[in-house]
Structure 1
């Protein structure tokens, strides 16, 4: 029998341990628990290095937003703690979903939520989650979702479906409009925009693109005008919606290589 390796990620230790213990009672499920996003990422990296990758992550939608237990608590076998909560900084639930999709795309993620929220559920799907499940659902329902996402199914509560579709449609509309605006930029203006996405200031952009600060200032003003925004922050947000990434590393002025 092929076993399913599940990692529960929740900074409420009682919930995480209880859920992990319940899942561990299933004959075809191996389960571990992590009390924070950084602990989950370490567990994923360690398991991959050992050739025993996790199949599914169950991630708390509110991970990193509340108080956490300051110390580790051992779990009974076959459940194992992956590290003390809060260690290594805060990683929220959706950021963890995105990180996992990037680092280990074969791992499926399911977001566990205290309440139904179409906007957050849509964001979770966009981040790469395969499902959104209420924490008060039955264990049999959760197991069905776990097995479903392994078949590349997407699982949402029926009551959320309409709202999530509306949110995804609106997001797509905004993304399409953002893409159209970015396409109106000249190649040089797009380079400047990518530098802005990377967080570079005017002087750094000038050095990187071998331009004068005055020329960079003009390009930045043109970018803001064409995108219809009034600040660098707004321009960066629009650029990200359009899929514009940061400028790639380039050699500094005067460097050799």
Structure 2
């Protein structure tokens, strides 16, 4: 259980531990959660969606703890944020004011590899996921218009390399790299390196090794 409101987190962990088949622990920060996950094995992560680093923790869980099922706890329903969380790897979205019985249903459900979203939120979440999928497809189409060399340059940009570093890595002149970067921005329909990197990430382009 990861929540900045320690009293809430500890109270909920205590209530959950009262169940014969549940053991729970509460922490109040993302770094503490990372440390706790490295120390012991857990099946479910209850995560406050309003924490500043909640999406960062979801990404880390997906990369390092693929067996862990994240459940997002929210103070209010938000289809956009719910869709973002599900896309990032969450298995469920639950209101903080839900009953303990409801939370246990969700926890036990995600352990059976179920996805839980409140019925009233489902239509909005599906709409957001469909919209995201369309955008991703369009972004992938734009990336597909790049030449192999331009794609290499884009992947270097994703790795945070500047023009000089890209030139050294790809054995090109800085002027040639500048031309490739301009072509990348033009084909992607953006006006800055940051925008190009953001679009590439949404399209699923991996950074340079």
TM-score by length of structure 1 reads 0.80
Structure 1 counterpart of 2:189, from 228, 238, 243: 228
- 2:55 paired residue number: 94
Shift, 1:228, TM fit: 0.8
Partner of 2:17: 24
**Shift of the alpha carbon at 1:124?**
0.5
| Cα displacement string for residues 34-73 of structure 1 (whole angstroms, at most 9, x for unaligned residues) | 11111111111111xxxxx100010000124xxxxxxxxx
| 2:203 matched residue in structure 1 | 242
Q: Which residue of 1 aligns with 2:112?
A: 151
Match of 2:176 in 1: 215
Name the larger-Rg structure: 1
* Deviation sequence 1:120-153 (CA, Å, 0-9, x none): 0000000100000000000000000000000110
Q: Distance in 2 between matches of 1:116 and 1:60?
A: 13
Instruction: Find the counterpart in structure 2 of residue 35 from structure 1.
Output: 28
Given the alignment of the two structures, is residue 111 of structure 1 paired with residue 72 of structure 2, yes or no?
yes
* Separation in 1, partners of 2:56, 2:81: 12
Q: Could you list the structure 1 runs, at least 4 aligned residues long, displaced by more than 4 angstroms after superposition.
A: none
Structure 2 length normalisation: TM-score?
A: 0.98
Matches within 5 A, 1:111-130: 111-130=72-91
Q: What CA deviation, in whole Å up to 9, does each residue of 1:211-257 have, x standing for no partner?
A: 00000000000001111111111100110011112111xxxxxxxxx
Count of aligned pairs between the two proteins: 209
The equivalent residue for 2:142 is: 181
Name the counterpart of 1:67: none
1:158-173 equivalence runs, <5 A:
158-173=119-134
SS at match of 1:11: coil
Gapped regions of structure 1 (runs ≥ 5): 1-7, 48-52, 65-91, 249-257
